[in-house]
Structure 1
């Protein structure tokens, strides 16, 4: 997911309303006054809740307790019905029919608030948000960016992450007309034929056709596998060869289809170790955000060697991009490094955690760098919050800027999905 693009991309978001930009180049003159407690200096109109949530999640993963005012700001963005908009300049003013709430911002905020230790108010906030998300599920089992909009892979994946983190029943039990979120994602998988065999589409085109999309593929793979941060597969479960095979029984279809998507990502990254993207009429450029997302997806699927190779490419090339893009980009790199077994505190000679922290209010507390969480790609035990309750270790993936339209993101909890 990339995060990222030009004013033209943001304009498309405003007009089309299909997804929230996770990271756009910071604006030197925000159109709204920057709130106290917000991460980043760019205009938050289209990505305030997104970047705040992503920054908090990356901090938590690295043993950093976010500033109270940062968490307060995020919690204060919630509407009375449980939903979140991309940004509300006047959070004290009640939401109304003109407030543009969306599934991506809501799911992002759920995942961030659910992980903050010592915040008992977060449980009620996330419960309200989950209730709202369930209320706007489409009849095919998925979600669109806006309530009632056509289901897409990115939004459905983002909501899967929120449900798995905050709802004891998990995402596979949330159904509409008998359809689960996994049913919706499986319909967006390309068959095992042609050069794009196994990839996922963002949405069907007007004729019902499916076109491969790297962002949608990375999001769907991680959502369907549902593995925790730290590498995904147990040692010995690593995949040796990418391939696309026809999904087996209904019980195996979820994992088989996810593996097919991961295999497509392996093939897409094989030559240059990074993905590319281009605005219409422009030359293709490195896509740092989608590459980071692909690293997380590959690690989840057991392609550790390939994930590490692309993470090394990011280590050598993506720091300038993150500096220009802001907190969400730093967070993406933190989580990609973590998934690939690299050290986010020594990534190309840079401490990504310190750079992320510097984009917002000073953390309330943090582990010393020498005590940062283990970055080896193995399963970790659940951590404990301040109240002694278990908090699952999850991972996060950006879910991307599709065709220059917008962004979402995904955090997939440690739950084996059921079809």
Structure 2
């Protein structure tokens, strides 16, 4: 549901990758990178237009399944940040300061925030990034892909995810009295419309709204205040209805958008590509985004047909597209309670890990099944506490300090 970056998408001033900026269907990545690939980067295609995006999704997906990424992979991502907090898709030479011509954008920045917030220990980096995102918020409350660009559903939603990831309340982040939710609601097609409940990517030149499947997936997550990683929500008692008339609340818009997605996926199980000339071509990434959105809205069962389709049909696309694609499939599995290590017979975690530097640790399937993320965190914290407690006692005895030191839990990296 977010932007996937490609040269073609940028040339069209669109959102990369999920509409793609925020997400449009992504052509196959270049097999011949025009720049040297950094050792810590995931994927082997040219990173010029999607380096930070795919790295952020890869690290976030690994964290979601209990994998601890390689230090150099995390360091590469943090090293891409500009002094003002923003991220560009890729900076080949980070020794050079960012300037007015550095192509920073909201999507890469927001994705990096979500990844680094999940990994913990990067508060300074995420704090600067969020400050920058707030500084480029539009007067309608939303964000465009590039600073100053017209707000779109995908960019606004990925920024909402970043705000939520650092503990901000999106509804309180305002510009001109408008919140991100106001911007999204303005892009929601009202009840009575032929495509009621859908979200438009942006209004056309005449201000008209046209339904867009991926923008709808993004919009649903946005009005729910969710990021890229979600767990299944509770189904609304009003599911299947169109709520709120011409002035829906964010909660209404989530129900309406999920209803539209369910209908759009109902016949084939997948969303079609929005790329010109590809009307009957499935869009695997946008379909995965739609599965996540439906699950977040509590319609996990309705997403099952699409998930089954992805399990059967997405292997070739994921192999060709690389780390971001594997991450999107892992997010879909996570949202629906599906094992990403047995996704249509494929181990998505292993496949993702193989696209970049070996992680510091990677639990196997049995480890993942026997311990939830919260259990593991508790186990890590307790172990770290014990180490520091013994160090404290040793220092107290050795130096003769007559007071007790309080143990401090070591934060996860």
Gap runs ≥5 in structure 1: 389-419
Q: Which residue of 1 aligns with 2:124?
A: 124
Q: Which residue of 2 aligns with 1:148?
A: 148
> 1:247–1:253: 8 Å Cα contact kept in structure 2?
no
> 2:161–2:226: 8 Å Cα contact kept in structure 1?
no
> 1:4–1:24: 8 Å Cα contact kept in structure 2?
no
Deviations 1:12-50 (A, max 9, x none): 414526445576523221111111100000000100000
Q: Which residue of 1 aligns with 2:353?
A: 357
Which protein has the bigger helix share? 2
Q: Quick one: distance in 2 between partners of 1:75 and 1:359?
A: 19
Q: Which residue of 2 aligns with 1:10?
A: 7
Q: How does 1:298-313 map to 2 (within 5 A)?
A: 298-313=294-309
Q: Quick one: distance in 2 between partners of 1:385 and 1:101?
A: 39
Q: Quick one: distance in 2 between partners of 1:375 and 1:342?
A: 15
> 2:190–2:245: 8 Å Cα contact kept in structure 1?
no
> 1:338–1:375: 8 Å Cα contact kept in structure 2?
no
Q: Which residue of 2 aligns with 1:31?
A: 34
Q: Quick one: distance in 2 between partners of 1:233 and 1:75?
A: 32
Which protein has the bigger strand share? 1
> 1:239–1:302: 8 Å Cα contact kept in structure 2?
no
Greater RCO, 1 or 2 (C-alpha within 8 Å, sep 6+): 1
> 2:4–2:53: 8 Å Cα contact kept in structure 1?
no
Q: Which residue of 1 aligns with 2:258?
A: 262
Report the CA distance shift for 1:133/1:278 in structure 2 as closer, same or farther (over 3 A): closer
Q: CA deviation at 1:279?
A: 3.0
The TM-score normalised by the length of structure 2 is: 0.84
Q: Quick one: distance in 1 between partners of 2:290 and 2:375?
A: 24
Q: How does 1:148-187 map to 2 (within 5 A)?
A: 148-166=148-166, 168-187=167-186
Indicate the larger mover: 108-117 or 345-354. 108-117
Q: Which residue of 2 aligns with 1:78?
A: 81
Indicate the larger mover: 141-150 or 281-290. 281-290
> 1:200–1:213: 8 Å Cα contact kept in structure 2?
yes
Query: Do residues 327 (structure 1) and 323 (structure 2) align?
Result: yes
Q: Quick one: distance in 2 between partners of 1:300 and 1:382?
A: 24
Gap runs ≥5 in structure 2: 383-413
The TM-score normalised by the length of structure 1 is: 0.83
Q: Quick one: distance in 1 between partners of 2:375 and 2:261?
A: 29
Q: Quick one: distance in 2 between partners of 1:38 and 1:310?
A: 30
Q: How does 1:12-411 map to 2 (within 5 A)?
A: 12-14=9-11, 16=13, 18-19=15-16, 24-117=27-120, 120=121, 122-166=122-166, 168-226=167-225, 229=229, 231-234=231-234, 237=235, 241-246=239-244, 253-372=249-368
Report the CA distance shift for 1:184/1:386 in structure 2 as closer, same or farther (over 3 A): farther
Q: Quick one: distance in 2 between partners of 1:62 and 1:164?
A: 20
Secondary structure of the equivalent of 1:232? Answer: coil
Secondary structure of the equivalent of 2:111? Answer: helix
Q: CA RMSD in A?
A: 2.6
Deviations 1:295-315 (A, max 9, x none): 000011111111122101100
| Rg larger in structure | 2
Q: Quick one: distance in 2 between partners of 1:27 and 1:72?
A: 25
